[in-house]
Structure 1
Amino acid sequence: LGVALLAGVGTGVWPAVEAACDAIIKPVEVTEPRAAQAAVYQDIYSELYASLYGNLRAQFARGAAIVARLAP
């Protein structure tokens, strides 16, 4: 959908991306977060995921070095 909107802007169907989005995207319903569940997800992030980057930093660097070998 995004590419179609950009194509429409590029060909003059809409004057800007914002206008294209306003014309096509219509929210059906709004879902509000539940406080209790949001707190659990925050705990999961802070107690688990936040530490992953530091723990995996060396592996990310090794992976980047391997991928760099693919570049022409």
Structure 2
Amino acid sequence: MHDLRHTLASWLIGRRIPLPAIRVLLGHESIQTTVDRYGHLVRELDDQIAAAVEAAMGAPAPATLHTLPTMSAQ
């Protein structure tokens, strides 16, 4: 059962659900507990977040990163 909690937290982080919301869902008394256990998963998203920001600002993203599609002007 405990493994399912970890899986759920991992999936939520992958969907960019904020850690404070995950803290409440998991019933952690302190956000520090959530950060200590799952903070490394948030850092794994850093490349995707950087690519999204660069795409939004019009900067070319490195070819190795998955970037968000750009919207064409109509």
Q: Same fold (TM over 0.5)?
A: no
- TM-score range for the pair, normalised by the shorter chain length: 0.3 to 0.5
* TM-score, normalised relative to structure 2: 0.33
TM-score for the superposition, normalised by structure 1: 0.34
Larger relative helix fraction: 1
The structure with higher relative contact order (CA 8 Å, sep 6+) is: 2
